[in-house]
Amino acid sequence: MRLDWAQFDDVGADRLWIRPLGLLSGGAAAEANASGTAWPLAYARLAYTFVGVFGFRRERRPVSIVASIGELDAWLAGSGARFAERVRRQLVLLSVPRPPWAGFTLDRPLVMGVINVTPDSFSDGGRWFDAERAIAHGFALVEAGADIIDVGGESTRPGAGPLPPGEEVRRVEPVVRALAQAGKVVSIDTRHKDVIEAALAAGARIVNDVSALSDPGSAALVAGSGAAVILMHMQGEPQTMQYDPVYDSTLIEVLEFLDARVAGGVAAGIPREQIAVDPGIGFGKQLVHNLELISGIGAFHTLGCPIVLGVSRKSMIARLSRGEPPEARLPGSLAAALFAVQQGVQVLRVHDVAETRQAVAVWEAIASS
């Protein structure tokens, strides 16, 4: 069947995106790469044989098509020539291995363990609110296999109100300091410049910002510190973000947002290789939006940054199942994590570290056999 490339005629040359499809792993990926019938994906031992091509037409109408490598090449050599430079750049970014990020080589998925030093987080609010218990939990997560410990002091669950930065610092600073002094890699989960500054001084190596460094001065602070950063997409604020969020195309809009925020970080002096991106599952998104982002997660490789995904215990799992409470959502969390790993996602942010590490290890052994 002949592909209808004409539907892209009114898509702006700078508004086209691609995503890897038809993924292979292990020996099949190696053979396909060697024969030229597939292209390598950023994560080792993966390859893709098809691409999804998509973008906005006039009046923000999304359009998409699935093409083989040969069909894409033929289009770019003909009627799609005006997209050739952009698509070729994205293809390179899909294929080249990522350089080390935050001191980690990205030749395997990293596991980021969550510590909420809060009384009101959606999953474990109050459980680790005491600093000593939070510190002990951090060491337990490392023992269970966490590469990174993500410490947060402000709940960003849907409906949560803002927390004064001073109180947030009081909650997280002793936890960050104790874990960092013990040589653990600590990430600070915050959207406030003052908290970033205090956490970096206490030894945090990564800034995980749900607002993508929107607080004035945050980008310059991170740039001057040499820390790595995770830029996340959120529509609105935690207090109101789930009040009927609307998208014309969730995947395109989140890609465009993060592309702009990465460019802003680079302009502020943050090396691109120190920037990771997170599509922000559940942050200003309904179930259908979350599913679109997870199913299309491979497209975020075109930004040239490591991808972080946090689906662990989130409400979308209960909505797809039987309404289970957060502590009963492990199977769904693992299903999402393994799908993400198959798409080359480099960092999984999870509550259940040992279980995630085991699931990933089994998947990798099967995929590479």
Domain end (from 26, 60, 95): 95
Rounded Cα–Cα distance for residues 31 and 51 (Å)? 19
Residue 70 sits in the same domain as residue 187: no
Instruction: State which residues form the domain around 11.
Output: 5-95
Q: Is residue 100 a part of any domain in this protein?
A: no
Per residue, the 3-state secondary structure of 39-74, as one string, reads EECCCCCEEEEEEEEEEECHHHCEEEEEEEHHHHHH
**pLDDT confidence bin for 63, thresholds 50/70/90:** very high
Which domain-ending residue is among 67, 95, 123? 95
Share of the chain above pLDDT 90, in %: 83
Residue 56 and residue 170 share a domain: no
Residue that is last in its domain, among 63, 95, 127:
95
Q: Are residues 115 and 79 in the same domain?
A: no
Residue 70 located in a structural domain: yes
- 88 shares its domain with 165: no
349 is known as an active-site residue: yes
Query: Looking at residue 2, what is its pLDDT?
Result: 81
Within-domain flag for 180? yes
The catalytically annotated residue of 19, 184, 349, 357 is 349
Q: Which of 193, 314, 329, 357 is catalytic?
A: 314
Say whether both 255 and 355 belong to one domain: yes
If asked whether residues 78 and 118 sit together in one domain, one would say no
The total of structural domains in the chain comes to 2
314 catalytic? Reply is yes
296 in the same domain as 164: yes
Q: Is residue 18 part of a domain?
A: yes
CATH number for the domain harbouring residue 270: 3.20.20.20
- Determine the pLDDT at residue 36: 87
Distance CA 98, CA 83 (A): 24
pLDDT at position 120 = 59
Q: Are residues 165 and 192 in the same domain?
A: yes
Specify the pTM. Answer: 0.95
Within this chain, do residues 127 and 230 fall inside the same structural domain, yes or no?
A: yes
pLDDT tens string 283-292: 999 999 999 9
68 burial via Cβ count (<10 Å: 0-12, 13-18, 19+):
middle
- At residue 78, the pLDDT reads 97
By percentage, how much of the chain surpasses pLDDT 70?
Answer: 95
Residue 126 pLDDT > 80, yes or no? no
